[in-house]
């Protein structure tokens, strides 16, 4: 196309009568060329958009992974549901958006048309319209999905954590995984030789030699 525009034809010679404006003809030729190329043009455009949307989605996903709360465990129940719903919504929207963008860039599978010249022309015009529709829908869905993800991040940042270390009856218990089974109790002492826990209502202290201890995990109750 560019060479078409760039080439100054032999028409620089002055014609009889009207002044020759060769650019007018070049653009007319370019227009005719675009009529044949427009589906490819739209597909390339859609490909660019698809890549851009995918990049954007990935970026926000990374932010979510890096900056979001590690789990929803500490959140009050209602907010936990809100976050989960937002994430599910975001997933659905982003999935639909990605599929729409892929559809726009690559066409619908299984669409056929009679390949006569006229049908092909209207088929191409139809497909151009459908591609642009699919692309703009995909764009909206992706933006909505990204907003949902960002809202989920915001919720996870702003909602206060339920105070996990609540004093009182539910003391800080530990689960001690030993070679001889799992013991549970309140942690009394941990030194290089052994882990000491109190079991059965602080009445008995159990000393577990460090050689037997496989792991120690905090627990809310035994």
The H or E element spanning position 23 is helix 22-67
62, 88, 111, 129: which one binds another protein (CB under 8 A)? 129
150 exposure class (CB count in 10 Å sphere: 0-12, 13-18, 19+): middle
Instruction: Tell me if 13 contacts another protein by CB under 8 A.
Output: yes
Q: CB of residue 89 vs another protein: minimum separation in angstroms?
A: 20
Backbone angles phi, psi at 183, to 5 degrees: -115, 150
Q: Closest Cα partner for 39 from 94, 104, 88?
A: 104
Among 5, 9, 62, 120, binds another protein (CB under 8 A): 9
Give the three-class secondary structure for 18.
coil
CB closer to another protein, 23 vs 154: 23
What is the distance between the alpha carbons of residues 91 and 113, in angstroms, rounded to a whole number? 34
Minimum CB separation of residue 6 from another protein in Å reads: 12
In this complex, which beta carbon is closest to another protein, that of residue 144 or of residue 216?
144
Residue 162 binds to another protein (criterion: CB under 8 A): no
- Mark the segment that binds another protein (CB under 8 A) among 13-21, 81-89, 176-184, 202-210: 13-21
With tokens 């859609």, the residue in question is 46
> Residue for token digits 């539910």?
170
- Segment near another protein (CB under 8 A), from 81-89, 94-102, 125-133, 166-174? 125-133
- Backbone torsions φ then ψ of 50, nearest 5 degrees: -60, -45
Which residue ranges make up the site for another protein (CB under 8 A)?
4, 9-11, 13, 15-22, 24-25, 27-29, 31, 33-35, 38, 41-42, 45, 121-122, 125, 128-129, 132, 136
């Amino acid at each position: 196309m560019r060479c078409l525009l760039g080439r100054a034809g032999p028409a620089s010679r002055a014609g009889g009568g009207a002044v020759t404006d060769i650019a007018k003809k070049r653009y007319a030729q370019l227009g005719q060329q675009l009529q044949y190329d427009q589906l490819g043009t739209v597909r390339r455009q859609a490909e660019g958009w698809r890549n851009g949307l995918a990049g954007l989605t990935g970026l926000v996903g990374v932010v979510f992974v890096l900056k979001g709360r590690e789990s929803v465990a500490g959140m009050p129940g209602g907010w936990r549901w809100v976050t989960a719903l937002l994430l599910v919504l975001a997933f659905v929207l982003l999935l639909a958006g990605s599929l729409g963008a892929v559809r726009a860039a690559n066409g619908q599978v299984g669409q056929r048309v009679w390949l006569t010249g006229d049908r092909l022309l209207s088929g191409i015009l139809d497909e151009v319209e459908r591609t642009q529709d699919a692309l703009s829908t995909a764009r909206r869905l992706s933006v909505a999905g990204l907003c949902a993800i960002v809202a989920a991040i915001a919720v996870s940042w702003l909602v206060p954590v339920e105070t996990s270390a609540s004093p009182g009856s539910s003391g800080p218990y530990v689960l001690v995984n030993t070679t001889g089974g799992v013991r549970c109790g309140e942690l009394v002492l941990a030194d290089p030789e052994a882990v000491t826990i109190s079991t059965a209502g602080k009445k008995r202290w159990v000393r577990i030699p460090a050689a037997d201890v496989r792991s120690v995990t905090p627990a809310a109750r035994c």
